Amino acid sequence: MVYRVDDDSRLRIGELSRRSGVSPELLRAWERRYDLLEPTRSPGGLRLYSLEDLERVRLMSRHIADGLAAREAAALAARAPLEVTREAPTAAFDAAAVRAELARAMDAFDEPAAQAAIDGLLAATTLDTVLSEVLVPYLRELGARWAAGEVSVAQEHFASNLLRGRLLGLARGWGRGGGRRALLACPSGERHDLGLIVFGLALRARGWRVDFLGADTPTDSIVGAVESLAPALVVVSATSPELLAPVVPALRRLAGRTQVALAGAGARELDGDALLTLTGDPVMEADRVAGR
Amino acid sequence: MVYRVDDDSRLRIGELSRRSGVSPELLRAWERRYDLLEPTRSPGGLRLYSLEDLERVRLMSRHIADGLAAREAAALAARAPLEVTREAPTAAFDAAAVRAELARAMDAFDEPAAQAAIDGLLAATTLDTVLSEVLVPYLRELGARWAAGEVSVAQEHFASNLLRGRLLGLARGWGRGGGRRALLACPSGERHDLGLIVFGLALRARGWRVDFLGADTPTDSIVGAVESLAPALVVVSATSPELLAPVVPALRRLAGRTQVALAGAGARELDGDALLTLTGDPVMEADRVAGR
Amino acid sequence: MVYRVDDDSRLRIGELSRRSGVSPELLRAWERRYDLLEPTRSPGGLRLYSLEDLERVRLMSRHIADGLAAREAAALAARAPLEVTREAPTAAFDAAAVRAELARAMDAFDEPAAQAAIDGLLAATTLDTVLSEVLVPYLRELGARWAAGEVSVAQEHFASNLLRGRLLGLARGWGRGGGRRALLACPSGERHDLGLIVFGLALRARGWRVDFLGADTPTDSIVGAVESLAPALVVVSATSPELLAPVVPALRRLAGRTQVALAGAGARELDGDALLTLTGDPVMEADRVAGR
DNA sequence: ATAGGTTTTGTCAAGCTTTTGTACAT
DNA sequence: ATGTACAAAAGCTTGACAAAACCTAT
């Protein structure tokens, strides 16, 4: 993960040399001959370099490695626009930082950066953590910012679609295998299926088999699928009670044969005598359900 | 090798020669005789070429290779409209192409490129496909090239470790859930565990739960683990029959309590009355085993 | 967990020295030369420091450890905004407790629990801390328990493979970047590569670029890789001197061209005139090496 | 292709200054 | 506690040098 850096640090030539792998003598020679750097000076006359200078030196070294002569490499490096970045020292795993980077990339429609952030996440930690510590909070935040008008519809769409693609990528094959079977769907009119996908992934990680009908599924289709697939669990998710209410009677009738749950923000107010209600963090809810 | 193109790099004649494969003397002769290039000069008089010049030289070489006389080739190359080539955008998903790119990156110790290739793969297709269409063939090929001396041990190690990291990353969480349990190990002396990991991943994708002991596990330990974990399936994998043979008696004794399989190239000749033999593509074998 | 700091506590210079690890003389020198701190005075003239001062000193020390000169470190530390309420550095996680939980999970072949423990760790603290406070001690302990027969080979294998997967996951991208290049390998016959991976991660966090050949690499291959990659540092690690000895002559020949180090328990007894010896905690050793 | 001269570039040395941790005297 | 001293480490400038890479002309 790459963070922007407060370019306050002033390095002396030895440190610049250590970080860049270029000897102090050579650094001075490059300055003298090509004006590659213009370090400020300490009161006593020692050179003080910025982190940008470090990047410049690295760039020059790379050009030399590419076969350019020193002078040409310097000319190129001197006028290149540099973005000072640094590997996070806390590279461990800082959920807030990653979330921020994800938000930045998404807002800027920077798809590669967003994908890279997710790639890095998946490499560094478990799927559960990615989902519950980063993606779910990010989605929540995105919703809030959208409601507050801080995010355009285009940005929201961009982010949703990118994440949907990624999550469905992770989901590939979740309908396979011998575990208990869960059927997931959003009712007619509901198009927010990301939370449901996250829930499905968490369930999958717990050994379940997932059948996903996705957004905007008519009641009849849900019932039909239950009949033909005979899942151990049916989850219907929506963001508002109005969308959920029309489905409830039919679900109640199913509840004899199989476990049925309502999920999402819309499930909050609907009581479930026979129906389970899952309104918390999708991963935690998956844990709860899987543990039964 | 991919070179940066963004720029007005000025190449000296040596570098132009390296990149074009045309000797410096000849380059100068072409300039003198046909005015093929008009390099700028450094303050000291050295020729400085642009990337466009490089393209021009390449074009001329191609024309010569096509049988044209030098003068005609030069005339053609001199007035041809040139586009400075950039890196080709990556194609959607061409298993062979990705495999080739993976091989290139690995051979060059280019970790980021190899990781990116795998990232792209995972985003583009299913894990099963990644494993059986790309990684397994790549590993097979790597082994063959290693045997033929085309790949150094260092390259083979580099590639193995990188892949092991990726595969174990994908494996995170495979020990969780309520599915049937498989215990995977290589016998003493066997250090090739990548095929076994691939098999485990395929099994996991089919809902199984995996306990992985990895390379070089003594017979006693396998038996002990079987006793404490009571798996539904035990798989022992090795590349040669000699390594597998000493374990067979103990495995036969286990075969009453649980399904036991021999896997890998070493399993070929050992028939198993009581023991299953898995010698094919790990993913297909996982399919077979999971289907029982 | 956030604690409010009662900024009433007044530390005398001795106590500040103990808590910060900086000698009283040096603290006074920093005050005089860089105005780093402005302690209040007791009636008798003794300096009285606040907890904020302590943080400032620690920050300065960290900058110095990062390679900055004292004056620049002081400038940075002096104007850094220090939060009055700050994260409790130690209360957030209890290294010993996590280590115990990790050991429990590993012994029980409980993969999800072990993964969760590591996830928690990574979220709670820096990679350096995770490595040096938990994983390295855990590995040491595991080795000791294995030697004492308290842990089966199966358990040891299970734990190693799980950790290897996590560490290599964190290692993703360590071959990228413009930093100085380090080549890491174990000699023929050596299969313990975890310590070396930890070292590589620590080096990476310090801006280096890592090429990893891993366990069981023949001498020729190491030499060949050095020639083609031209690293600034070569590290060869083994658990016993017998495994390391055969490689030493070849390494000595490399030592003219590049820095060469022996690492691991096996390096202890081998003297290195031309060779560096790294036998301590991998993270500390990385610190040392990176600082050269 | 070779010969003979020039440019470029990394490295080194000598002699002097600045910086900084530690020590000592008051 | 203060103030001064000191020595090691790290830098500075100037100048020089030699290997590598290029040049022109034959």
Q: Would the CB atoms of B153 and C111 count as touching at under 8 Å?
A: no
Instruction: Find the Å distance, CA of residue B111 to C1' of nucleotide E19.
Output: 34
Q: Say how far apart CA A136 and CA A283 lie, in whole Å.
A: 9
Q: What is the pLDDT of residue A264?
A: 92
Residues of A in contact with B180 (CB under 8 A): 178
Q: Say how far apart CA C188 and CA C240 lie, in whole Å.
A: 12
- Please tell me chain A's helix, strand, coil percentages from 3-state DSSP, rounded to the nearest 5: 55, 15, 30
Chain E: nucleotides under 7 Å from a protein CB?
1-5, 10-14, 21-24
Instruction: Identify the closest residue of chain C to A56 by CA–CA distance.
Output: C178
What's the N-to-C CA distance of chain C in angstroms? 37
Instruction: Find the Å distance, CA of residue A29 to C1' of nucleotide D9.
Output: 9
Which chains contact A through at least 3 pairs of Cβ atoms less than 8 Å apart? B, C
Q: Tokens 């539904």, residue?
A: B232
Quick check: helix, strand or coil at residue C211? Answer: strand
pLDDT reading at B87 higher than 90: no
Q: Say how far apart CA C196 and CA C193 lie, in whole Å.
A: 5
Q: Tokens 């049916």, residue?
A: A234
Confidence bin at B292 (pLDDT 50/70/90) = low
Residues of B in contact with A179 (CB under 8 A): 177-179, 207
**Read out DSSP for A212-225?**
EEEEEE-HHHHHHH
The pTM for the full model equals 0.79
For chain A, say whether B175 makes contact (Cβ under 8 Å): no
pLDDT tens digits, A243-259: 999 999 999 999 888 99
From the C1' of E11, which residue's alpha carbon is nearest? A46
pLDDT reading at B230 higher than 50: yes
Q: What is the pLDDT of residue C273?
A: 65
Q: What is the pLDDT of residue A286?
A: 95
Q: What is the pLDDT of residue C270?
A: 62
| Smallest Cα distance from A206 to chain B, Å | 4
Q: What is the pLDDT of residue B153?
A: 93
Q: What is the pLDDT of residue C292?
A: 53
Closest CA to A5 of A44, A54, A45: A54
pLDDT tens digits, B126-135: 899 999 999 9
Q: Would the CB atoms of A123 and B169 count as touching at under 8 Å?
A: yes
**Torsion (CA) B114, C201, C266, C151 in degrees, nearest 10:** -90
Q: Would the CB atoms of C169 and A124 count as touching at under 8 Å?
A: yes
Q: What is the pLDDT of residue A1?
A: 37
Ordered mean pLDDT values, 10 residues apiece, chain A (292 residues): 52 90 93 93 91 91 88 89 55 80 89 88 91 94 90 89 90 87 95 95 93 93 93 94 92 91 84 81 92 72
Cβ of B47 near strand E (distance < 7 A) = yes
Q: What is the pLDDT of residue C291?
A: 64
Q: What is the pLDDT of residue C92?
A: 60
Instruction: Find the Å distance, CA of residue A50 to C1' of nucleotide E8.
Output: 27
Weakly modelled stretches of chain C, pLDDT under 50: 1-6, 84-91
Q: What is the pLDDT of residue B202?
A: 95
CA distances C86 to A58, C82, C127, C235, Å, are 36, 8, 20, 39
CA distances B117 to B87, B100, C199, Å, are 15, 10, 26
For testing contact with chain A, the best of B13, B87, B119, B166 (most A CBs within 10 A): B119
- Written as six digits, the tokens of B56 are 């021009």
For chain C, say whether B153 makes contact (Cβ under 8 Å): yes
Contact residues for A25 (Cβ-Cβ < 8 A; gap 6+): none
pLDDT tens digits, B33-58: 888 888 998 888 899 999 888 989 99
Segment B12-39 mean pLDDT: 90
Instruction: Find the Å distance, CA of residue A35 to C1' of nucleotide E15.
Output: 20
Q: What is the pLDDT of residue C290?
A: 76
Instruction: Find the Å distance, CA of residue C17 to C1' of nucleotide D23.
Output: 18
Residues of C in contact with B153 (CB under 8 A): 217-218, 220-221
Which chains contact B through at least 3 pairs of Cβ atoms less than 8 Å apart? A, C
Q: What is the pLDDT of residue B4?
A: 38
| Smallest Cα distance from C274 to chain A, Å | 20
**Read out DSSP for A150-171?**
-S-HHHHHHHHHHHHHHHHHHH
Cβ of A11 near strand E (distance < 7 A) = no
Which among A119, A173, A208 is the nearest to B205, CB-wise?
A: A173
Give me the residues paired with residue C235 across strands. C184, C261
From the C1' of D10, which residue's alpha carbon is nearest? A26
Instruction: Identify the closest residue of chain B to C187 by CA–CA distance.
Output: B154
Q: Tokens 């959607």, residue?
A: B92
Interface subset of C 251-290, CB within 8 angstroms of A: 290
Which among B158, B169, B216 is the nearest to C213, CB-wise?
A: B158
A146, with CB counted inside 10 A (0-12, 13-18, 19+), is: middle
Q: Would the CB atoms of C112 and B173 count as touching at under 8 Å?
A: yes
